[in-house]
Every structure is written in structure tokens, then in C-alpha cells.
Amino acid sequence: MTSSGLPGFRDFYPEDFALRDHIVSGWREVARRYGFVEYDGPPLEPLELYTDKSGPEIVDQLYTFVDKGNRAIALRPEMTPTLARMVGARAQALPKPIKWFSIPQLFRYERPQRGRLREHFQLNMDIVGETDVMSDAELVAAAIDAVRHFGLDSEDFTARVSDRGLIGIVLQEVGVPKGRIVEAILALDKAERQGDEWLAARLTELGVDEAGVRSVVDVREHDLDGLTAHFAGSRDVAEAADRLRAFFALMSDHGLSAYVTFDPRLARGLAYYTGLVFELWEREGRLRAICGGGRYDDLLAAVGGPDLPALGFGMGDVVLGELLKEKGLVPERQTSVDDFVVYVTPAQRSAAIRVARRLRERGRGVAMDYRGRSVGRQFRAADQLGASRTIVIGPDEERDQTASVRDMATGEEKVVPLIGLIEGV
């Protein structure tokens, strides 16, 4: 091979770009249906924007450099800090709730693998300035629809839902000190991969007694009712659970019950989530999470922005694209050619160009042969390009101001007046 591009960065050949466009357009359409408006920010940001709040897991993997003005720069790894800044600057003026979406290209310096590159496009949908559980449900519904839009359904993927508020209260009940709740939640997330013994050791470290440890390990197997029963004595648990129940009821109103499951094992790695958290997973589980998000009511204030509650999710194009390819849901072929105009002899070239021009003015995609090859070869070119019609201009047509129009799918061909051809478009 000759020189290749940077590892983890993609070249988009026309067929690749077609898939990317398919995904991005679909997302835009779904976001629009939910009443979100699009925004964007710069792909480069000051490094400090991320070092403060994002947590070490993101900072370790930043793409950074120093610019000619000696500024420390990062390629944006996520959109939320940019969103926080932008919303912050106009927080007073914007009607609430603020429902914004963006499809930024994001960058991470880490080892590329299947479904994880150093760059991807990510749909971000956020709602700022609303605490009602109805907004939680609508956001999750939008995330689910952003996947369903491409032809996947509850057979293919599922949404795991939990609530950090609830889990935090549970952890407090079993004896985790208040100041270490977030650590315990992150441990819970990590336990997915490390196993129960690791979790038990970690919880003991955090000051949980043996009974409490057992309780937490058990809790991970409970459904919502089981969980409330287990902590029947706790008013706080009951209240937090009620909010989740309300959430599931709303998901039912959205007609999406089949997609959502309570899963107390889900915690999400990022430190800033405060309430609802969710992830979309392919059912077969071979790929990574398709999407993840949740409520982060304290984040905007924490980064010096307005004190507004918020929630949002991110959904990348890489895993979703892999999934669509696997399921055969990638659109067939893309062509920009509607009509191919054939000229039979060089004498008709000018007339044919004029016809092409008039069709283009009407919005048709038109291609022609450049070299005056045989009619047969021109037809073959029309076929290769996927033209839906081939329009032949020969001596007869030129004389009669007509064109022979062939439907490439059916093979049906008829002679029509030029005027009719142009105006019939």
C-alpha cells in the first residue's frame, strides 16, 4: 500500500459518505420531529475547557497541541462543555426548556478498534432548564427513535435505564459515606467488567459492612419492585423509585415500553450524572453501546455556567454504522444522475448539451458522454451511473425537435416532443 492516513481516521469514499449522510440526515430528521434545533461550536477548544470538569477518563485521551500563540489546544472530545458555554452566554435570554441538538465530529486519542476510532460523528441532544420526568422520558424516546429510524427495532436493541439518585440513596442506606457515593457508583459501573468479588472488595474499602456489600451485590439483580421491597423501610428509596416508575409509565405513553428495562447495574462512567442514566445496546451484545446519556443537573453551574438542570445523550455514527451494515440496512446505491443524454453523432452534441442544460435548470441530475462514443457504449455508461432515463438525440430527433426517451428500468422507449420532455419534468 502507498501512504495511508492517520490511524483511527476515516476516508469517506462515495459509498462510505452515502452511509454517513444517511445516518446524519436521519438523525436530523428525528431531532426535528422532537422539536430540537441545531447548533454547532468550534472543533478546537482551549484545553482548560476539558481539564477542569470532564474527569480523568476523558482528559487522558485528549488530542492536544500547542498553537503558534502558545495556547494549549484540544480537539473537542465531547460536546457538553461547548454546550454549557454557549447556553451559559445566553441563559437569561433563552426560553426554557432549551432543546438543542448537534452532530459534531469528536476526537479521542486512543487505540483504534472495531467500533471505536479516533474520530467520530456524534448526535448530541440536550434539554436544558427542565427537571420534570417528562423531559427524561422524551429524551430517551428521541434516542430510541434515532435508532429505530434506520429500521432497527426492539428485536435488535434495548435501552437499559437506571437512576443515579436512586442508586446513590441505596448506597447510602447500606453505609457508604455521603462523600464517597460517586466513587461507589463508578465502582458499580466498573463492576460490570471486574466482577462481584472486585466490587465487594471496593465497597469494603469505601466503608460498607459485610451485610451491606451483600445487599448491593444482590441489588444488582433486582427489578424496580424487588428493589423497593428490599429497602421497604426507606422513604427516600421509595420516593426515588417513584420517579423511575413515572418514567416507565411515560415510556409506555410513548409506545416504547418494549425498549426500556430497569437495570440497576448501569451507572455510566462519567462522574457528572446526577439522575436518570441510560444506554442503548445491541441485543446480541457484540458491539459497544450504541448510545449513552443521562441527567446532569449540577454540571452547568459546576463549569461556571448558569445553575440550570440539564440532560442529554450522545450517539456515535461508528457503532450504528457497523450495526446497519450487519443488518443489511444500508441503502443500496446512491446516484446523482436522473437522466443520461446520448448524442448519436457529433453533429447532435450541441443540441444534446442544450437539452441537458434545460433539464438541469429543472433540477434533474444529468450526465453525458464526453467523447462521442458509440450509442451502445453511451447506454452502458448510463446503466453504470444508475440513470433512470436515457434520452437519445439523433439526427431524426434533432430535425423533429423530439427526443427518444428510454426508461432504464422497464426498457420502455418512446419519442416525445422536446417541449413536453422539458416541461413534463
Partner RNA sequence: GUGGGCGUAGCUCAGUCGGUUAGAGCGCCAGGUUGUGGCCCUGGAGGUCGCGGGUUCGAUUCCCGUCGCUCACCCCA
The grid coordinates listed for 83 are: 454546550
Cβ distance to RNA smaller for residue 41 or 55 = 55
Q: In the bound complex, what is the minimum distance in angstroms from residue 31's beta carbon to RNA? A: 16
Distances (CA, A) of 124 to 311, 317, 341, 379: 11, 11, 44, 45
Do 122 and 312 contact (CB within 8 A), yes or no? no
Q: In the bound complex, what is the minimum distance in angstroms from residue 182's beta carbon to RNA? A: 12
Cβ distance to RNA smaller for residue 54 or 215 = 54
CA pair distance 78, 91, nearest whole angstrom: 21
Give the residues lining the site for RNA (CB under 7 A): 1-2, 4, 7-8, 55, 57-58, 61, 77-78, 106, 108, 110-114, 116-120, 122, 189-190, 193-194, 268-270, 288-289, 292, 314-316, 318, 344-345, 373-377, 379-380, 382-384, 390, 392, 394-397, 404, 406, 408-411, 413
φ, ψ for residue 65, nearest 5 deg: -160, 170
Cβ distance to RNA smaller for residue 413 or 423 = 413
Q: In the bound complex, what is the minimum distance in angstroms from residue 245's beta carbon to RNA? A: 26
Cβ distance to RNA smaller for residue 36 or 272 = 272
Do 137 and 247 contact (CB within 8 A), yes or no? yes
Q: In the bound complex, what is the minimum distance in angstroms from residue 211's beta carbon to RNA? A: 27
φ, ψ for residue 365, nearest 5 deg: -85, 120
Q: In the bound complex, what is the minimum distance in angstroms from residue 123's beta carbon to RNA? A: 9
Q: In the bound complex, what is the minimum distance in angstroms from residue 173's beta carbon to RNA? A: 25
Cβ distance to RNA smaller for residue 252 or 374 = 374
Cβ distance to RNA smaller for residue 129 or 293 = 293
Cβ distance to RNA smaller for residue 70 or 113 = 113
Q: In the bound complex, what is the minimum distance in angstroms from residue 424's beta carbon to RNA? A: 18
Read off the amino acid at residue 348.
Answer: Q
